[in-house]
């Protein structure tokens, strides 16, 4: 079963799976969907928008990257009353630059990859991988609400003098 849920993305030259996520403006997870890497972004986008409409019916405006452009914008408007705004690079831009609105999702992916279990795809089923993504996001949100007590291993500690 695990092999059937994996694929090859020829554009990115990657084996495995893709994570499609919808976040709020703070970067907190609303909806997650894991597909084979061979699934086109437009096809995965239609499924994730369907889920987003089902679980967050008050959602009205979505920013997306260029992979979700095309008929998906019209389909989202017609079926789910969602406005999908594709954020693309400015015409004269060369190289890397942070694009408004798109960095929110990229930052969320970076937060998720800090969880050891999500660095690699160890799961056999996509549903299990989705559950671990949700679990990681719950942990992130709980740490923001109330920091755990005790020393922080990443913080420097003052040295004792004898």
**Which pLDDT tens digit goes with each residue over 7-26?**
877 777 778 889 999 999 99
Average pLDDT over residues 38-47: 90
Tell me: pLDDT of 161 over 80.
no
Helices 71-80 and 41-55, packing angle to 10 deg: 20
Q: What is the pLDDT of residue 56?
A: 94
Dist CA 127 CA 48 (whole Å): 14
Q: Over 90: is that where the pLDDT of 138 sits?
A: yes
Which of these ranges, 42-51, 53-62, 128-137, 138-147, has the smallest mean pLDDT?
Answer: 138-147
Rounded to whole angstroms, the Cα distance separating 125 from 121 reads 10
Fold exhibited by the domain 7-88+98-140: Nucleotidyltransferase; domain 5 (3.30.420)
Going by pLDDT thresholds of 50, 70 and 90, the confidence category of residue 148 is confident
d(CA 36, CA 146): 36
Distance CA 28, CA 23 (A): 5
- The DSSP element (H or E) to which 110 belongs, if any, is helix 102-113
Instruction: Provide the pLDDT for residue 128.
Output: 93
> Which position has the higher pLDDT, 52 or 121?
52
| Mean predicted lDDT score pLDDT of the chain | 86
Q: Is the pLDDT of residue 95 over 90?
A: no
The predicted model scores a pTM of 0.80
């Amino acid at each position: 079963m695990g092999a059937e849920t994996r694929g090859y993305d020829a554009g990115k030259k990657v084996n495995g799976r893709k994570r499609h996520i919808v976040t709020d403006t703070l970067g907190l997870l609303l909806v997650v969907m894991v597909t084979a890497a061979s699934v086109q972004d437009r096809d995965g986008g239609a499924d994730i928008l369907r889920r987003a409409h089902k679980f967050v019916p008050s959602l009205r405006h979505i920013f997306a990257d260029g992979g979700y452009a095309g008929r998906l914008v019209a389909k989202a408007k017609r079926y789910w009353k969602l406005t999908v705004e594709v954020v693309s690079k400015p015409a004269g831009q060369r190289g890397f630059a942070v694009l408004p609105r798109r960095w929110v999702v990229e930052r969320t992916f970076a937060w998720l990859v800090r969880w050891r279990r999500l660095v690699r795809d160890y799961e056999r089923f996509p549903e299990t991988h989705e559950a671990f993504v949700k679990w990681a996001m719950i942990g992130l949100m709980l740490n923001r609400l109330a920091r755990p007590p005790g020393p922080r291993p990443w913080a420097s500690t003052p040295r004792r003098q004898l």
